[in-house]
Structure 1
């Protein structure tokens, strides 16, 4: 699978050829605990075609991801345990702050109902939510929700997404299909190529110039 839309193709050419860009874009890919996390390796490969990528996992997402698939990506993968292993004393770097400084764009895909509720209310109880709490909203934040139709239709979901919209986040809408539970309805994560194209188009607007 490769990026194939005209807009994405143009952006890839731009990244590859324009002289004023000082480096490749940097994308943080946050992964929360939805069964759609099984699509993360495909998404990460698409992003890595044109960007430097680091992955942040929640504990719940690791239940959906195979370690061998993550290792095969050959990309940095950070989790909750890394937050404290990197810090020993005052003056040491704090991982969620360093990741926030490094990234040009934060993409959370999939965004579970639980993580949506957390970030909309400012919770910072794991590495991913700490990055969101510290995020510079002058940079792109994109989310790709993935949840059961009943959860997607909940008034809590529309309220929490409204909060993210007010902060300037871009919501990549889910699609209607047969879900992991067997139900058919809205709430399935958008396809990896659609998500990757949205992230690349967003980050292209904030690349550093010479």
Structure 2
């Protein structure tokens, strides 16, 4: 497999806002192509997508590529043939990003963020972020999962310790048939 290098210094577009969209294993990831399309309606916005393996259950990355963004996965992070001095993807994406959106944020990824785990490209990127990088987390999970006492603790850590902005959730019909947030 050929390694595709991403280097922040050559990828940044002057005068643009560089958005990293992280998609996680929530059924709401089906909206990822639409989120990218909406962001790219602004001429001064560039988007790179980091997809967890679980998120790709819910959308075809080709739709994001066709909208004008790349999709990065765990397979892109550490490829055979890596040499000392080669760009490290999660670090380069951190350098590139002006803002990070975790949309949607599954219960699993929320728990990993709160615990400081970094076992995939998405959580490694989040762990490597400068504390000044604006980061917005959009929880999306079943109502009972959201109302679980550990979820409240995870949200508090993400908000108060990591200083990420937690947005939502919104109330609507859920994929499982429940109605809630």
TM-score bucket (shorter structure): 0.7 to 0.9
- Is the 1:86–1:93 contact (alpha carbons within 8 Å) kept by the matching residues of 2? no
Structure with bigger helix share is: 1
Aligned residues: 166
Give the match for residue 26 of structure 1. Answer: 18
Aligned-pair CA distance for 1:86: 8.2
Name the CA distance, whole Å, in 1 between partners of 2:98 and 2:68. 20
Aligned-pair CA distance for 1:178: 1.2
Aligned-pair CA distance for 1:68: 3.5
Give the match for residue 176 of structure 1. Answer: 171
Aligned-pair CA distance for 1:72: 1.8
Structure 1 SS opposite 2:85? coil
1:18-74 deviation per Cα after TM superposition (whole angstroms, max 9, x unaligned):
xxxx51110000000111001111111111222110000000001111243223212
Considering Cα pairs closer than 8 Å and 6+ residues apart, tell me whether 1 or 2 has the greater RCO. 1
Structure 2 SS opposite 1:163? helix
TM-score (norm: length of structure 1)? 0.76
Please, which runs of 5 or more residues in structure 2 have no aligned partner?
Answer: 1-13
TM-score (norm: length of structure 2)? 0.87
Relative to structure 1, is the Cα distance of residues 160 and 134 closer, same or farther in structure 2, using a 3 angstrom cutoff? same
Give the match for residue 137 of structure 1. Answer: 131
Name the CA distance, whole Å, in 1 between partners of 2:89 and 2:33. 23
Name the CA distance, whole Å, in 2 between partners of 1:131 and 1:86. 20
- Is the 2:36–2:64 contact (alpha carbons within 8 Å) kept by the matching residues of 1? no
Runs of 4+ in 1 over 4 A off after TM superposition: none
Name the CA distance, whole Å, in 1 between partners of 2:70 and 2:179. 35
Name the CA distance, whole Å, in 2 between partners of 1:161 and 1:116. 7
Once the two structures are superposed, the pairs formed by residues 182-201 of structure 1 within 5 Å of their partners are: 182-186=177-181
